[in-house]
C-alpha cells in the first residue's frame, strides 16, 4: 500500500505552518507523498474573505512546486456545492484503492470532527493525524482522542497525535496584515507573496470584489 498524506485546507492563503506540518508528517510517518487539496466551497467560511478556488489552488501549486513529494489536487474546487471531507476521501479510496490515507490536520479538528458531516465515514477511509501544538495541551488531546475512539469504536491507531511546534501563523493573521499594508515576508513562500501582490488579494478593495463575485457564482450571500 502507498502511504499518502492528505493535507486539506482552505489555504486562503497557504503559509509556512501548512507546509512545515506536511513536511514533518511526511518524514516522520514515512509517507510516499502529500496531496494538498484546497477546499471548494467550505460551508463554514466567510465568503467575503475567500479568494476563488482556482486562485487558492494556483497559490498552493506555487507554494509546493519545489517539493517532489508534494502534489496539489483540484478535485474539491471542481465540485459543485459545499465540499465535505468524507466525500473527498471516499472518492480517493474508490479511485486509488491501493493507497493508505493519512488525513493531516491541526489540533482544532480533533475537537470539531464529530460535528462534521459523516465523521464515521472519514474514519473508515483514513487515519487522522492531528498536530499537537502548545495552545492545546497534550492531556486534552489524549482525552479527546479516547472520546472519539469510544464514540466511533475506533482502533487506537486510527488517530495519531503528532508532536509539532508552535508556529503562531494563521491565514487570518496573514490576510489582516496584508489588508493593513504590513509585511508577511517569510510567512508565505516568496512566489505566493508575489502572486498575491500582483493580484491585489486581501486588500480591502479586493474583499469587496470577491464578495460580489462569490455571490454571483455560488448564489450565496456574503456573511
Residues lying near ligand NAP in the complex (CB under 6 A) are found at: 8-11, 17-18, 21, 39, 42, 44, 83-85, 105-109, 116-117, 131, 164, 167, 169-171
Q: Least separation, in Å, of the C-beta of 79 and ligand NAP?
A: 11
Q: Which is nearer to ligand NAP, 23 or 215 (CB)?
A: 23
Cell numbers given for 35: 496531496
Rank residues 164 and 207 by Cβ distance to ligand NAP and give the closer one.
164
Q: How is residue 222 annotated by DSSP?
A: P
- Least Å distance between CB 13 and ligand NAP? 9
Cα separation of 202 and 31, whole Å? 34
Cα gap 210→194, rounded to integer Å:
19
- Identify which of residues 105 and 214 has a Cβ nearer to ligand NAP in the complex: 105
Supply the minimum distance, in Å, between the C-beta of residue 151 and ligand NAP: 16
Whether the upstream peptide bond of residue 13 has omega within 30° of 0, thus cis, is: yes
Which residue's CB is nearer to ligand NAP, number 61 or number 83? 83
Alpha helix segments (H runs only) across 42-189 = 53-64, 85-95, 107-112, 119-125, 138-151, 171-179
Distance (Å, whole) CA 155 – CA 148: 10
Residue 22 CB, shortest distance to ligand NAP, in Å, is 9
Amino acid at each position: 500500500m502507498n502511504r499518502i498524506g492528505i493535507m486539506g485546507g482552505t489555504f486562503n492563503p497557504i503559509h509556512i505552518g501548512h507546509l512545515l506540518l506536511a513536511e514533518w508528517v511526511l518524514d516522520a510517518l514515512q509517507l510516499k507523498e502529500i496531496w494538498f487539496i484546497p477546499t471548494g466551497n467550505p460551508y463554514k467560511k466567510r465568503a467575503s474573505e475567500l479568494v476563488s478556488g482556482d486562485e487558492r489552488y494556483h497559490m498552493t501549486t506555487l507554494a509546493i512546486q519545489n517539493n517532489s513529494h508534494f502534489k496539489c489536487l483540484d478535485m474539491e474546487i471542481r465540485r459543485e456545492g459545499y465540499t465535505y471531507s468524507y466525500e473527498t476521501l471516499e472518492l480517493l479510496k474508490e479511485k486509488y484503492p491501493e493507497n493508505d490515507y493519512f488525513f493531516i490536520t491541526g489540533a482544532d479538528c480533533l475537537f470539531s470532527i464529530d460535528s462534521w458531516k459523516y465523521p464515521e465515514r472519514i474514519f473508515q477511509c483514513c487515519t487522522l493525524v492531528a498536530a499537537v501544538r502548545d495552545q492545546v495541551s497534550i492531556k486534552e488531546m489524549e482525552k479527546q482522542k479516547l472520546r472519539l475512539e469510544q464514540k466511533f469504536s475506533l482502533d487506537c491507531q486510527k488517530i495519531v497525535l503528532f508532536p509539532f511546534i508552535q508556529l503562531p501563523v494563521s491565514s487570518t493573521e496573514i490576510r489582516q496584515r496584508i489588508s493593513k499594508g504590513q509585511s508577511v515576508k517569510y510567512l508565505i513562500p516568496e512566489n505566493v507573496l508575489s502572486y498575491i501582490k500582483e493580484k491585489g488579494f486581501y486588500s480591502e478593495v479586493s474583499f469587496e470584489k470577491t464578495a460580489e463575485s462569490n455571490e454571483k457564482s455560488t448564489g450565496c450571500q456574503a456573511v
